[in-house]
Amino acid sequence: METLGFVAVAAVALTSTIVGGRLLLVARRTRGLPEFVLGLSLVGITGVGFPIVLLTELRATLGPQLTLAADLVGSFAVAFSFAGFYVFTWRVFRPGARWAAATTAVGSATMLFATGATVWLAIGTTTSEEKYLAVRGPEIVLFASAAMGFLWSALEAFPCYARLRRRCAIGLAQPVVANRVLLWGLTGVAASGGLGILTALRLLDVNYLSAPVALFTIAGCGFLVSGLLSLAFLPPPSYLRWIEATTSSTAP
């Protein structure tokens, strides 16, 4: 079961880093904020933040100073990346809405504050188990806030997909674009589901690092996120042909 969890994490990390890097290359060409923020967030979580956070499991080997540095860099890289998903949703789906800007500010500030609290409370802990117990409260806030960000993105994506589908029927939108929006919404559901599970486990004092049910469900969400991101941003030609053919067969 632990092997399954590791494979799922590795799959998400690899896919997210590749997709994020590709989006950053696109942003370099287009100078677009949404693709830059999303690309930076995907790379920041899996390519920078999470690997550094994993190093802090070797607290006794690293020593207190290196452990604190790794906690600071890794944890805040993840937190800023989670905040980036709020920014992406705001700028893509609700760029002119003040409530969306406020939601982004509140969600981002909450995650950054919770991250600062976890780093502070982890100072002086010498084992991963000790740290796990010390940071319970802030981690609950962090996971819940991040889950809400992904859920918000999904709730914005699905109505947008429905509108694009209607436009596809009369030739005013591309089927591949509509499908990509749908896949992004499903990615948001899967990611918020995984983070929601982590939040629930923390509330129930179940160690998500070792409990089999936790590893299994989180691994499932991880594989789902990896597959959806791949289809949305790295689709094989056969999948694109299938989308075009399916849309043509259902058109009036």
Per-domain residue ranges of the chain: 2-250
Instruction: Report the C-alpha gap between 102 and 108 in whole angstroms.
Output: 10
Q: What is the mean pLDDT of each run of 10 residues along the chain (252 residues)?
A: 60 80 88 89 85 78 84 92 95 95 97 95 85 91 96 96 89 88 94 91 82 70 82 88 74 48
Q: What is the rounded CA–CA span in Å between residue 209 and residue 207?
A: 5
Question: Nearest CA to 229 among 7, 3, 23, 1?
Answer: 23
Q: Please report, for residues 104, 153, 179, 180, 181, the alpha-carbon distance to residue 163 in angstroms, rounded to integers and kept in the order given.
A: 24, 16, 12, 13, 11
Per-residue CA distances from 70 to 117, 122, 223 (Å) = 15, 11, 27
DSSP character at residue 174: -
Helix (H, G, I), strand (E, B) or coil at 63: coil
In this structure, are residues 184 and 158 in contact, taking their beta carbons and an 8 Å threshold?
A: no
Q: What is the pLDDT of residue 3?
A: 62
Three-state SS for 94? coil
Residue 155: per-residue pLDDT: 97
Question: Are the beta carbons of 214 and 206 closer than 8 angstroms?
Answer: yes
The pair of three-digit structure tokens given for residue 249, joined into one six-digit string:
């067969």
